[in-house]
Structure 1
């Protein structure tokens, strides 16, 4: 009996379908076996895998920390540079101000001197020689002449004290380059002793002189312990 063409085609299709089914099952079984093997490996080596994960995580965190630290270091460097500039500018300003103050004040000038012994019966016109100089910064005061000579132009302050005893008189004036500027006196005291004092603020030119001098009438007595002359420069002036 002859085989028809359609039958042969059907047989071929069935054969191919069966073959493909078998191949699909084999592939599925192989994949299932592979998955089981992978899962088994994961279970076997899970500690190693976890360690690798932690190591990666730590590396990632360290990298982030390092980047953060680098940013902080850059910020600190910028702040340090800025602070150094501020400090340098501030220091220059302070030094300039100190220089200005020094220029205004000039070199220090001050003196303090007393008479080394009692003075008696000094006639008018006598310059009192304060011969016991305790301080003479700037060398403006002469204990031999009793005069102060301004080493530079500026504003100066002077003060003096003197002590007399009962029944004596003393007229003491402050003179600036020959001109009497201040008068002080004690007259016919009935106390055992009496103290007089005076002061003067004056602008002097370089070389101007200041001294104390008896005027009007005789100075009967000046006590050495309590008779002194002192002065200092307040500020230099152009």
Structure 2
């Protein structure tokens, strides 16, 4: 349509630019008409060439636009695929994180429970070691009242024996636990009688007691602290010929207690 308008415009301009020439011959007129037609043909060919060039340029542009459009569509498709893959990876990652968090929390709770149980067990163990066990005994009434030198006194009547450290068969106290013990012996003698006693620890004297009184029944008490290891023994024996006395009100006795371990 544009080429046709250009051709018509060219013809009208050409015809308008020709002056009237009434004095010219017929030959001259035909020659000029022919010349005009030739010029018009050349002009038309130029217009066709220009239109062809423009058409080719437009087709090339359209081809490039089409190719660019296809490339853009392909790029958009790739981006959409990448987005979908990213979304799937994100969902998978979130599920994995949730599973890992749940597993981690379960492990933390399990480890905490185990640590708590271990702490309680350790505390109980330490408590058992720190708390002083209850060890206490008190025995009275020797098997015999007349003692010879070196004779061990066996107190036959056991009033209390927590920890089972004292033996009424041997007269010895065997420490059930390591610690600091307080021992005591109470000795009663008849008038005009001697009482010489030693408290012994594994054959070593830890305390001595001597009693003699003229004309009276008398009693005396002695105490001593002894550090013992578990299994060590303490007893009372006569250091020299002695005579003891006992009735319902006056007891000759031997006792002790663990006061600190």
Report deviation, 1:223.
Answer: 1.9
For the pair shown, the structure with the greater C-alpha radius of gyration is 2
RMSD (Å) for aligned C-alpha atoms:
2.4
For the 8 Å contact 1:141–1:147, the answer to whether it is kept is yes
For the 8 Å contact 1:150–1:206, the answer to whether it is kept is yes
Distance 1:226 1:151 in 2: 26
Aligned residues: 141
For the 8 Å contact 2:132–2:259, the answer to whether it is kept is no
The structure whose residues are more often helix, as a share, is 2
Task: State the TM-score, normalized to the length of structure 1.
Answer: 0.54
The SS at the match of 2:244 is: strand
Q: How does 1:192-211 map to 2 (within 5 A)?
A: 192-211=216-235
Distance 2:235 2:187 in 1: 14
The residue that corresponds to 1:173 in the other structure is 198
Indicate yes or no: 2:218 matched with 1:184.
Answer: no
Report deviation, 1:222.
Answer: 3.1
Distance 1:100 1:222 in 2: 47
The residue that corresponds to 2:244 in the other structure is 221
For the 8 Å contact 1:171–1:219, the answer to whether it is kept is yes
The residue that corresponds to 2:183 in the other structure is 158
The residue that corresponds to 2:135 in the other structure is 109
For the 8 Å contact 1:104–1:235, the answer to whether it is kept is no
Unpaired segments ≥5 residues, structure 1: 1-91
Instruction: List structure 1 runs of 4+ shifted beyond 3 angstroms.
Output: 98-102
For the 8 Å contact 1:127–1:146, the answer to whether it is kept is yes
Higher relative contact order (CA 8 A, sep 6+): 1
The SS at the match of 2:133 is: coil
For the 8 Å contact 1:105–1:234, the answer to whether it is kept is no
